[in-house]
Amino acid sequence: EIFDAQGAVALPGFVDLHTHLREPGREDTETIETGSRAAALGGYTAVFAMANTDPVADNAVVVEHVWRRGREVGLVDVHPVGAVTVGLKGEKLAELGTMARSQANVRLFSDDGLCVADPLIMRRALEYTKALDAVIAQHAEEPRLTVGAQAHEGETAARLGLAGWPAVAEEAIVARDCLLARHVGARLHVCHVSTAGTVDVLAWAKARGTRVSAEVTPHHLLLDDSRLATYDPVNKVNPPLRGHSDAAALRQALADGVVDCVATDHAPHAPQDKDCEWSAARPGMLGLQTALGIVVKTMVEPGLLDWRGVARVMSERPAEIAGLPDHGRPIAVGEPATLALVDPDARWTVDGAALASIAGNTPYEGMELPGAVIATLLRGRFTARDGKVA
């Protein structure tokens, strides 16, 4: 069988540390199958499915269900993320050890959607995950500073009359958790870094040897709060789209390695939860099929990253952070390939209705993106080919 890859760039299959697949509970917006299709088409060969499902993935039964369903679909390695606290309530630690030792082999724990805000619970969670050689991925948001918040606190929010979500709500938690992680000797992963100040905190923490890693989303690299002028809830996301200079600082931090990798925070939502008033809309946007294009547009085209760098931020670093030995590295001779083949010169136009996700909440509707995934292979088998699931 011959596949013509003339002119293509071969990258190790992408690894997404932050995906919301919505199964179980909200299969009207995404299932493990439809999300896996979106992942394969986006060049991903491994995704980490966040725990804020219904029921919450805070026990071995739910994480094993997600893991098994991912295997059945077989298009991408679906790794369940375990909740840190029971029911994401932030009060009582979930049975992290049972999830880690289950068939799902959970290595990443997160209460994403919510923050582990109590410092004592966070300290205990870090001690627990240190013993398990696992990682906590923190959605950094001091909840007392974001009550009622609707948009990045700044001029745009003030002009539109939207309650502000201050940068310090994120930065205070990131600083605290870096200190706690260092104190405990545990690893910490910071979800969706969104402000220039967080970049400064991370640089400081890394310089003094803290075991911290961080991700940035494609939307925080490209978009800023100037998009809010239309009041279109497609742009509503947590953390919010920040200022123009924040996005610039995030791009530089990703180029410099202060921010380690790109993660999508792929967050499908039903039409009724997006086609409504801004204040009633749910936060989140699709990301799996557009991530590469946004990274090429924001990082490769301006010369901030070369293709080697794209491999680093989309695959190598996330695979290292999550401890996936069979991902994120060049293929040895004779080894079944796990990779994404990209046409660097192709351009395509985003059409939400044509994406593989059930939901269609993409903020990039009608946008022309550079770089197209022409094929994805998982352990030697095509999972996507010529824009179709294989």
Which residues of the shown chain bind Zn ion in the complex (CB under 5 A)? Answer: 112, 139, 265
Q: Which is nearer to Zn ion, 30 or 343 (CB)?
A: 30
Residues 125-164 close enough to bind ligand DOR by CB under 6 A = 139
Interface with ligand DOR includes 237 (CB under 6 A)?
yes
CB of 115: closest distance to ligand DOR in angstroms? Answer: 9
Q: Which is nearer to Zn ion, 141 or 224 (CB)?
A: 141
CB of 377: closest distance to ligand DOR in angstroms? Answer: 29
Q: Which is nearer to Zn ion, 164 or 284 (CB)?
A: 284
The site that binds ligand DOR (CB under 6 A) totals a number of residues, namely 12
CB of 190: closest distance to ligand DOR in angstroms? Answer: 13
Interface pick for ligand DOR out of 82, 113, 233, 287 (rule CB under 6 A): 113
d(Cα 289, Cα 304) in Å, to the nearest integer? 22
Interface pick for ligand DOR out of 52, 129, 213, 338 (rule CB under 6 A): 52
Interface pick for ligand DOR out of 135, 140, 186, 267 (rule CB under 6 A): 267
Interface pick for ligand DOR out of 283, 293, 370, 371 (rule CB under 6 A): 283
Interface with ligand DOR includes 53 (CB under 6 A)?
no
Cα-flanking dihedrals φ and ψ of residue 67, to 5°?
-60, -45
CB of 147: closest distance to ligand DOR in angstroms? Answer: 16
Stretch 93-112: interaction string toward ligand DOR, x if CB under 6 A = -------------------x
Q: Can you say whether residue 340 is alpha, beta or left, with left for phi > 0 and alpha for psi between -120 and 50 degrees?
A: beta
Q: Which is nearer to ligand DOR, 160 or 270 (CB)?
A: 270
d(Cα 338, Cα 317) in Å, to the nearest integer? 15
Q: Which is nearer to ligand DOR, 22 or 317 (CB)?
A: 22
102-130 b/e (C-beta count within 10 Å ≥ 16 → b): bebebbbbbbbbbbbbeeebbbbbbbbbb
Pairing mode, strands 44-49 and 188-190? unpaired
Q: Is 265 a catalytic residue?
A: yes
Q: Which is nearer to ligand DOR, 37 or 139 (CB)?
A: 139
d(Cα 190, Cα 71) in Å, to the nearest integer? 27
Marked catalytic residue, from 111, 224, 260, 265 = 265
Asked if residues 380 and 1 have their Cβ atoms less than 8 Å apart, the reply is no
Interface pick for ligand DOR out of 110, 146, 238, 264 (rule CB under 6 A): 238
Task: Provide the binding-site residues for ligand DOR, judged by CB under 6 A.
Answer: 20, 52, 112-113, 139, 237-238, 265, 267, 282-284
Q: What amino acid positions are annotated as catalytic residues?
A: 265
